[in-house]
Amino acid sequence: MNITAMGRFTEFVPQEMVEELTQRAVEAQKNSYSPYSHYPVGAAILMESGKIFTGCNVENALLGATICAERSAIVSAVASGEREIKAVVIVLGEGGAPCGPCRQFINEFNPHAYIYSATSDGVIHNEWRLDELLPNSFGPKDLKHLA
C-alpha cells in the first residue's frame, strides 16, 4: 500500500509512524462488524509508551449500543494499562472526521492528540490536533476537584 501523508505534524509524529498506524487501521477496518450501516471504520492509536492499539466499529441490533472504532481502540488500550494517547488514525468512507463522542473520549486521554483520517487505500485526507476539533472542551480538568 502506498500511503500518502500530509505533514503538518511530522515534527511530533514521524511520517513512518503515521504510515504504520494507517496500515494497522486499514487492517482493523476489515474486521468491522457493521451489518446495519454498511459503513466500516477502523482505528489505530499510538500511545505515549509507543504501543499501538487498534479497533473497529462494532454495531448491535440495539443500534444505540454500537461502539465506534476509535472508542473500541481506546477501551482496548486502557484495558492494557495504557492512558496517554499520542495520535489516532481513523479509516472510514471518504476520510471524514471523527464523531463527537469519540472526540470527547480522546480528549479524556489527551486534549492535544494528533488525529488523522484516511481512506482504505491509505490516502490521508485530513489531519488535526484534537483541540481544533473539540475547542473549549469539557474534560478531566473540570472535575479535578472530585478526583
CB of 72 to ligand THU, least distance (A): 8
Find the binding residues for ligand THU in span 115-144 (CB under 6 A): none
Sign of the CA dihedral running 90, 120, 56, 10? negative
User: Quick one: which of 3, 69, 77, 134 contacts ligand THU (CB under 6 A)?
Assistant: 69
Task: Look at the block and give the residue holding cell 457493521.
Answer: 34
- Site string (12-41) toward ligand THU, x via CB under 6 A: ----------------------x--x-x-x
* Beta carbon nearer to ligand THU, 10 or 31: 31
Give the chain's radius of gyration (CA, Å): 15
Q: What is the DSSP letter of 33?
A: B
Compute the least distance from the CB of residue 41 to ligand THU, in Å.
3
Among candidate residues 101, 120, 108, 89, the one with its CA nearest the CA of residue 6: 89
